[in-house]
Chain A
Amino acid sequence: MGIKWDEFFITGDPLILGSQIAIVLTMVGIVAGVTYLKKWKWLWSEWITTVDHKRIGIMYIISGVLMFFRGGMDGLLMKAQTSRPEMEFLDAQHYNEIFTTHGVIMILFMAMPMLIGIMNVVVPLQIGARDVAFPQLNALSFWLFFGGAMLFNISFVIGGSPDAGWTSYFPLAGKEFSPGIGNNYYAVALQIAGIGTLLSGINFVVTILKMRTKGMTLMKMPMFTWTSFIASVIIIAAFPIFTVALALMTFDRLYGAHFFTLSGGGLDMLWANLFWLWGHPEVYILVLPAFGIYSEIISTFSRKTLFGYKSMVLSILIIALLSMVVWVHHFYTMGSGPAVNSIFSITTMAIAVPTGIKIFNWLFTMRKGRIKMTNAMLWSLAFVPCFIIGGVTGVMLGMGAADYQYHNTLFLVAHFHYTIIPGVVFAVFAALYYWWPKMFGFTLNEKIGRWHFWLFVIGFNATFMPMFFLGLDGAVRRSYTYSVESGFAPLFLVSALGSVILALGFIAFCYNIYWSIRHADRNITGDPWNARTLEWATASPVQPYNFAKLPEVDGLDPFWKMKKNNQGLTIKDSEIKEIHMPSNSGLPFIMGVAFGVAGFFLVFEWHIAAAIAAIGIIAGLIYRSFDYDEGYHIPVDEIKETESKWRNVEGEVHNYVK
């Protein structure tokens, strides 16, 4: 198999050597720490084998925060390199690798798991269910995502990072022009994580269609559930395209096929076409759940039902359909001619209409509301103007003829950061402040949260606003340096300083988590925000079975009505029945490891080893097919005890109506 051991570890770069040492030390530290605290068993039985949607959600969110750190470091390194003209901090190759891993990690391993994690925690609770439809599959989704993410992340120390951009366009990404193994990581790791995402999509569609509690018709679902549902539908529609495209890429790179190569009759631009057939819907998969998050938060803290519920639902449906027919706006310059470019310009600009409707709905929800300025609400407010800047520049880019000017400049980079950071990152922060007590039983500190908020928002604008002007002045994207004569230096410097403020904001966030774990008041109610939907009708943190008795619903904002009418807030002993629960399982974790190992061998093109590891995958599938485990029952006494613990506490839900 011709293993080149001398190229196995990346050597000769002090930055990477530093990371290698840091990684080894961190791993030793974690292993030593867990052993010292005697937590292995706890880790295995409470977390690694869990099938509880809330815990899986929390694991997704933790991974997302870690990946945000990694992707953010990449971003800062790039900003450092371009802070002055002709900097000699990163060379061209290193810069290529960093923007590639930054893009992939931020989108697929930060934004996706954050949102899927929040969906996991919140959706079953909002629809009054005890879990998702397929709990063990849910765990498998997580471990596949995690396996893929880890595989991708080790690329920069073992074997070399992919360096052809997060879009990995052919012919550059092919064997001819990227002979190293770096781009194999892209093909294989994203495939593994993608399977996990696809399974999540299926799981949530079934959960939302089949597991809603009594009385909750589709048009009575909370908005976050609606947006998660549509996002899952788009996942099912779009991810298979990526799966196929990545498989073809793998054939090209590993087995000498010619789907996308220049020679042998391949079509290099077909990759771009397939990539964006998935890639554009993907950004809507990200932004729709975020819209749902804002809808919940704005409604809760304005003390009003969401304005224009029906038009909200209609606009997400229209967005979902339109999002499938705009993909060419990413490569107008390929030259498909005026007919193609005109049609796709029109569909692209049309998306602004339903999105605009949603913005107005949020504004009208706030109108005459009694607004409470919590941190979650602040993030939602900051979202509106920032996202509008992103949206308006998007319409500018969407005009095919004009795009020939903007294409491949920092104007584009500024645009999509202005959509994706307010559209996803602000939403994730808002959601974490809002649902944190639901997950952990204490709120994050509001004061430190203010620091987090202002530093991050100011830093964000300072980083990316200059990039619009740099782009209009002709600064191209993915370029590791520029000359003094270009006159770009001042704006690049502002942008770099902005990114430092942004990073301080993130540090404030981490400090807030640390501070709140140490010092926050644990004695809070199940409903600290006086909220409106069902997830607040139960304990915080939520008991394993979610609801002792499944709630019944007859309209929007069911929990609000329950509190207003003082109905269904208490539970009689006679109403408590045994609850059937799924058992934990180690299989999803083992499958994740098997996929990761097989993937690793495949990256290095050690085909025999990969085939042997793949036997593990197949064995896992067979084992699962013959697994007749029926789960277990929680006895009535245990439920009574758990319920009495939170229901009779001072300040509990039924005392909370205002």
Chain B
Amino acid sequence: MEKHTNRFPISHVLGFIFSLILTFGAAYIALKTSLSFKVIMWIIGTLAVLQAGIQLFMFMHLREGEDGKTNVINIVYGVFMAVVIVVGSIWVMSAGHAAH
């Protein structure tokens, strides 16, 4: 950690700005455009994935880990969680008569 303290944290600042742009972009597209529901969902979904990527690379020190195995476990676990939460919720909320 020591070696970072003197350098200006440029990648963090950039990551922060990108995240803001992507978030406000998504809000703009969802609220202010008159695209069809489907198109909006696809666009903001893509922006969300992009933003997750930015956060992983610019904030989460993904490239710095000395220990590859730990990183793999972390990523696999993170993906597992994301899939359970997102795909699981969509499935549960749209199956059966819960959806009607």
Could you say which of B81, B91, B98 contacts A334, with CB atoms under 8 Å apart?
B98
Contact assessment for B93 and A269 in the assembled complex, using a CB-CB cutoff below 8 Å: yes
Measured CB to CB, the closest approach of chain A to B19, in angstroms, equals 16
**Roughly how many angstroms separate A338 CA and B98 CA in the complex, as a whole number?**
12
Q: From B84, which residue of chain A is reached at the shortest CB distance?
A: A324
Could you say which of A274, A325, A335 contacts B96, with CB atoms under 8 Å apart?
A335
Contact assessment for B98 and A336 in the assembled complex, using a CB-CB cutoff below 8 Å: yes
Is A150 an interface position by the 8 A CB rule? no
Is A631 an interface position by the 8 A CB rule? no
Is B72 an interface position by the 8 A CB rule? no
Neighbouring B residues of A267 by C-beta, 8 Å? 93
Measured CB to CB, the closest approach of chain A to B8, in angstroms, equals 14
B69-83: CB near A (< 8 Å → 1, else 0) gives 000000001001100
Could you say which of A273, A325, A338 contacts B93, with CB atoms under 8 Å apart?
A273
Contact assessment for A273 and B97 in the assembled complex, using a CB-CB cutoff below 8 Å: no
Could you say which of B80, B81, B85, B96 contacts A340, with CB atoms under 8 Å apart?
B96
Contact assessment for B85 and A241 in the assembled complex, using a CB-CB cutoff below 8 Å: yes
Is A73 an interface position by the 8 A CB rule? no
**Roughly how many angstroms separate A324 CA and B80 CA in the complex, as a whole number?**
10
Neighbouring A residues of B92 by C-beta, 8 Å? 273, 328, 336, 340
Could you say which of A269, A321, A325, A339 contacts B88, with CB atoms under 8 Å apart?
A325
**Roughly how many angstroms separate A269 CA and B92 CA in the complex, as a whole number?**
10
Contact assessment for A325 and B84 in the assembled complex, using a CB-CB cutoff below 8 Å: yes
Measured CB to CB, the closest approach of chain B to A482, in angstroms, equals 31
Neighbouring A residues of B97 by C-beta, 8 Å? 335, 337
Could you say which of A269, A324, A339 contacts B81, with CB atoms under 8 Å apart?
A324
Neighbouring B residues of A277 by C-beta, 8 Å? 85, 88-89
**Roughly how many angstroms separate A273 CA and B88 CA in the complex, as a whole number?**
10
Contact assessment for B89 and A270 in the assembled complex, using a CB-CB cutoff below 8 Å: yes
Q: From A237, which residue of chain B is reached at the shortest CB distance?
A: B81
B11-44: CB near A (< 8 Å → 1, else 0) gives 0000000000000000000000000000000000
**Roughly how many angstroms separate A211 CA and B34 CA in the complex, as a whole number?**
54
Contact assessment for A340 and B91 in the assembled complex, using a CB-CB cutoff below 8 Å: yes
Measured CB to CB, the closest approach of chain A to B39, in angstroms, equals 17
A17-40: CB near B (< 8 Å → 1, else 0) gives 000000000000000000000000
Contact assessment for A336 and B96 in the assembled complex, using a CB-CB cutoff below 8 Å: yes
Q: Which of B41-100 contact A (CB under 8 A)?
A: 77, 80-81, 84-85, 88-89, 91-93, 95-98
Could you say which of A237, A270, A327, A337 contacts B95, with CB atoms under 8 Å apart?
A337
Neighbouring A residues of B96 by C-beta, 8 Å? 335-340
Question: Looking at chain B's contact residues, is the secondary structure mostly helix, strand, loop, or mixed?
Answer: helix
A residues contacting the other copy or chain, number (CB 8 A): 20
Neighbouring B residues of A241 by C-beta, 8 Å? 85
**Roughly how many angstroms separate A327 CA and B85 CA in the complex, as a whole number?**
10
Contact assessment for A270 and B93 in the assembled complex, using a CB-CB cutoff below 8 Å: yes
**Roughly how many angstroms separate A5 CA and B77 CA in the complex, as a whole number?**
50
Question: Looking at chain A's contact residues, is the secondary structure mostly helix, strand, loop, or mixed?
Answer: helix
**Roughly how many angstroms separate A328 CA and B85 CA in the complex, as a whole number?**
12
Q: From B89, which residue of chain A is reached at the shortest CB distance?
A: A273
Measured CB to CB, the closest approach of chain B to A629, in angstroms, equals 15
Measured CB to CB, the closest approach of chain A to B87, in angstroms, equals 11
Neighbouring B residues of A338 by C-beta, 8 Å? 96
Q: From A325, which residue of chain B is reached at the shortest CB distance?
A: B84
Q: Which of A546-582 contact B (CB under 8 A)?
A: none
Neighbouring A residues of B81 by C-beta, 8 Å? 237, 324
**Roughly how many angstroms separate A328 CA and B84 CA in the complex, as a whole number?**
12
**Roughly how many angstroms separate A418 CA and B95 CA in the complex, as a whole number?**
32
A225-256: CB near B (< 8 Å → 1, else 0) gives 00000000000010001000000000000000
Measured CB to CB, the closest approach of chain A to B46, in angstroms, equals 20
Measured CB to CB, the closest approach of chain B to A201, in angstroms, equals 14
**Roughly how many angstroms separate A267 CA and B80 CA in the complex, as a whole number?**
25
Neighbouring A residues of B95 by C-beta, 8 Å? 336-337, 339-340
A325-347: CB near B (< 8 Å → 1, else 0) gives 10110000011111110000000
**Roughly how many angstroms separate A336 CA and B81 CA in the complex, as a whole number?**
21
Measured CB to CB, the closest approach of chain B to A273, in angstroms, equals 6
- The listed residue with most B CB atoms (<10 A of its CB), out of A270, A327, A340, is A340
**Roughly how many angstroms separate A334 CA and B77 CA in the complex, as a whole number?**
29
Q: From A337, which residue of chain B is reached at the shortest CB distance?
A: B96
**Roughly how many angstroms separate A340 CA and B88 CA in the complex, as a whole number?**
10
**Roughly how many angstroms separate A301 CA and B2 CA in the complex, as a whole number?**
46
Measured CB to CB, the closest approach of chain A to B25, in angstroms, equals 19
Neighbouring A residues of B98 by C-beta, 8 Å? 269, 334-337
Neighbouring B residues of A336 by C-beta, 8 Å? 92-93, 95-96, 98
Contact assessment for B89 and A274 in the assembled complex, using a CB-CB cutoff below 8 Å: yes
**Roughly how many angstroms separate A626 CA and B12 CA in the complex, as a whole number?**
17
Neighbouring B residues of A269 by C-beta, 8 Å? 93, 98
**Roughly how many angstroms separate A324 CA and B77 CA in the complex, as a whole number?**
11
**Roughly how many angstroms separate A25 CA and B97 CA in the complex, as a whole number?**
54
Neighbouring B residues of A324 by C-beta, 8 Å? 80-81, 84
**Roughly how many angstroms separate A324 CA and B3 CA in the complex, as a whole number?**
38
- The listed residue with most A CB atoms (<10 A of its CB), out of B84, B85, B88, B93, is B85
Measured CB to CB, the closest approach of chain B to A598, in angstroms, equals 23
**Roughly how many angstroms separate A267 CA and B94 CA in the complex, as a whole number?**
11
Neighbouring A residues of B77 by C-beta, 8 Å? 237
**Roughly how many angstroms separate A578 CA and B89 CA in the complex, as a whole number?**
54
**Roughly how many angstroms separate A336 CA and B98 CA in the complex, as a whole number?**
5
**Roughly how many angstroms separate A336 CA and B94 CA in the complex, as a whole number?**
8
**Roughly how many angstroms separate A269 CA and B94 CA in the complex, as a whole number?**
11
Neighbouring B residues of A321 by C-beta, 8 Å? 80
- The listed residue with most B CB atoms (<10 A of its CB), out of A270, A335, A336, is A336
**Roughly how many angstroms separate A269 CA and B97 CA in the complex, as a whole number?**
12
**Roughly how many angstroms separate A334 CA and B93 CA in the complex, as a whole number?**
10
**Roughly how many angstroms separate A454 CA and B61 CA in the complex, as a whole number?**
53
Q: From B94, which residue of chain A is reached at the shortest CB distance?
A: A336
**Roughly how many angstroms separate A536 CA and B80 CA in the complex, as a whole number?**
39
Neighbouring A residues of B91 by C-beta, 8 Å? 340
Measured CB to CB, the closest approach of chain A to B60, in angstroms, equals 13
Neighbouring A residues of B89 by C-beta, 8 Å? 270, 273-274, 277
**Roughly how many angstroms separate A576 CA and B80 CA in the complex, as a whole number?**
47
Measured CB to CB, the closest approach of chain B to A7, in angstroms, equals 34
Measured CB to CB, the closest approach of chain B to A268, in angstroms, equals 11
Measured CB to CB, the closest approach of chain B to A80, in angstroms, equals 38
Measured CB to CB, the closest approach of chain A to B1, in angstroms, equals 12
Q: Which 4 A-B pairs have the closest CB atoms?
A: A337-B96, A336-B96, A335-B97, A336-B98
Can you pick out 18 interface pairs between chain A and chain B where the beta carbons lie within 8 Å of each other? Answer: A237-B81, A270-B89, A270-B93, A273-B89, A273-B92, A277-B85, A325-B84, A327-B88, A328-B92, A335-B96, A335-B98, A336-B93, A336-B98, A338-B96, A339-B95, A340-B92, A340-B95, A340-B96
**Given A325-B88, A335-B97, A336-B92, list of 14 further CB < 8 A pairs?**
A241-B85, A267-B93, A269-B93, A270-B89, A270-B93, A277-B89, A324-B84, A334-B98, A337-B97, A337-B98, A338-B96, A339-B95, A339-B96, A340-B91
